[in-house]
Amino acid sequence: MTVTHNVVAIGKTDFFGWPANHGIWKFNDELLVGFEKGIHHYNGPDVHALDRTKPTIRMFARFRPETGWVHEYPKIPAIDYENKTRLPDLPADMLTAESGLYLMPSGWDGNVFTQLMVTNDAGKSWDGPFYIPDFGLVGVSARTDYIVCDGYYLLAMTGVKADGLEGNTFAAKLTFDGKWEKLGMMGEDPPYGDFSIMPAISRLPDGSLLGIARYASENEPGFTQLDVYLSGDEGKTWIYETKLNYIDEDMSGGSPPALCTLPDGTVVLAYFRRQAPCGLFITTTRDGKIWSEPKALRTDAVNTDIGYPRIAFFNNEIHILYYYNLGEEDNRFVADTVISEWETLIK
């Protein structure tokens, strides 16, 4: 296994962050990742080094093997915070297996909603926003995580609990002709002060589904874990399998999961440890029950202002996109850790 770390976006006065809040897409011979750009401002230890008095913008970076990472600023429809009931439905003829979906939540708690953007030109332009139903929940605050199936997309989503706070996790189905269907919940509503958010899904070698959600508790400060669920019926029901608490024990903030499936069916989980040694780790599974020992890919970050990964298998390599720091007051940047000769992971 060969591991290299590459800088995707960095600037002397810039804060770049949170790929997990946006998305990663594969379009033929290109890889596209979304993230945010803001103004760097050091606010103290273990706090985002971002000037909150200034706006942030959404941007992308596109990777081609012959050019490397190139920044893009396509026009993205603004989130419509006021008129969700008047958003148009997705046109019945818009989606294909080559389309890209981009989900944008309006917030995290209460009667929040999520809007859908669609690209049919590899992320160069985006149509929308389109209506996403609330599926009978208090609200929906979903990021972009889905797999393409035969005639439909299967999405992992975050909802608002009955107490009006984020979050619970569930799966949903979007057919190519624009019809939505709520599938199964990943567990029951967490108790007040706890939340389950930012789920990721992937397919296992036997065709079943693996779902992992980020779980944290305000009732037990510092308690975070990744909850593992399995589904044998295309997301209609989810069975709790285990918690990966060796990842998050005593961590500060926890980490959203990022999943990808290798050609042989092995699933790779990328996550961040946000307590010393801070950094990027991976583990693998073939059934969601037995997991390999975690491997540290880098542990040179100095505080918890890191992570929010996305992962993709592209051009026979594993790409993990995330934001990072190398100094307490240093700028936060987006990086791409590339694993080549990955076959040793599955031996």
Contact between 43 and 141 (Cβ < 8 Å): no
193: left (phi over 0), alpha (psi -120 to 50) or beta: left
Burial class of residue 253 (count of CB atoms within 10 Å of its CB; 0-12, 13-18, 19+):
middle
Contact between 214 and 255 (Cβ < 8 Å): yes
Give me the pLDDT at residue 254, please: 80
Strand partners, 39: 14
Contact between 190 and 169 (Cβ < 8 Å): no
Contact between 168 and 189 (Cβ < 8 Å): yes
Give me the pLDDT at residue 248, please: 47
Provide φ and ψ at 222, rounded to 5°.
90, -10
Q: What is the mean pLDDT of each run of 10 residues along the chain (347 residues)?
A: 98 97 97 98 92 96 97 87 78 97 92 94 96 95 97 98 95 98 97 94 98 88 87 98 70 82 96 88 96 95 94 98 96 98 82
Tokens at residue 74, please?
């396509």
Q: Any idea what the Cα angle at residue 136 is, between residues 133 and 137, rounded to 5°?
A: 95
Domains and CATH numbers, the chain: 2-346 (2.120.10.10)
d(CA 35, CA 21): 7
What pTM was estimated for this model as a whole? 0.96
Burial class of residue 244 (count of CB atoms within 10 Å of its CB; 0-12, 13-18, 19+):
buried
| CA neighbor of 271 nearest in space, from 212, 221, 330 | 212
d(CA 16, CA 308): 12
